[in-house]
Amino acid sequence: MSRDLSHRLLRCFIIEAVNAQPPHLHLPIAEHLDAGRYRVLSYLDVDAHDRPDPDSLTFLVEVEVSDGWAGLCSVHHSRLGLTEEDFATEIQSIAWQNGRGIPDDASSLTGP
């Protein structure tokens, strides 16, 4: 999922997560977010047969901190209103990142 799309879809969850933090952290977290010092990770659970479970697709927003990254919020895909195309693209991306379903001929892969 593109950064613009993920930010737009996750915006209300990010705001809610910032507001749930102690008040003295609101401004520093907001400054990190505004500066682009955050990342959105997506992940899937696997079943007992080590197969990905698409229904478990979840997005984790992390903010950069002095010693790495800190989780801000985690959002299940069903709360985001993803299109079927965005959902399928994200599942495929996760599969490729984990070495699943990569074609033998990389020329069929499209660029960003």
Q: Which tens digit of pLDDT belongs to each residue from 44-89?
A: 888 888 777 888 999 999 999 999 999 999 999 999 888 888 888 8
Has residue 38 been placed in a domain?
Answer: yes
Has residue 34 been placed in a domain?
Answer: yes
In contact, 17 and 30? CB cutoff 8 Å: no
- Report how far residue 87's alpha carbon sits from residue 44's, in angstroms, rounded to the nearest whole number: 12
Has residue 53 been placed in a domain?
Answer: yes
Has residue 59 been placed in a domain?
Answer: yes
Question: Is the per-residue pLDDT at 95 higher than 70?
Answer: yes
Confidence of residue 112 (pLDDT cuts 50, 70, 90): very low
Which residues is 63 bridged to in the sheet? 38, 70
Has residue 111 been placed in a domain?
Answer: no
Domain count, the chain: 1
- Report how far residue 53's alpha carbon sits from residue 47's, in angstroms, rounded to the nearest whole number: 6
Mean pLDDT on 10-20? 95
Q: Give the residue with greater pLDDT, 3 vs 54.
A: 54
Confidence of residue 111 (pLDDT cuts 50, 70, 90): very low
Domain that includes residue 83, residue range:
3-100
Mean of per-residue pLDDT scores for the chain: 84
- pTM of the predicted model as reported, rounded to 2 decimal places: 0.78
Torsion of CA 8, 10, 12, 18, to 10 degrees: -120
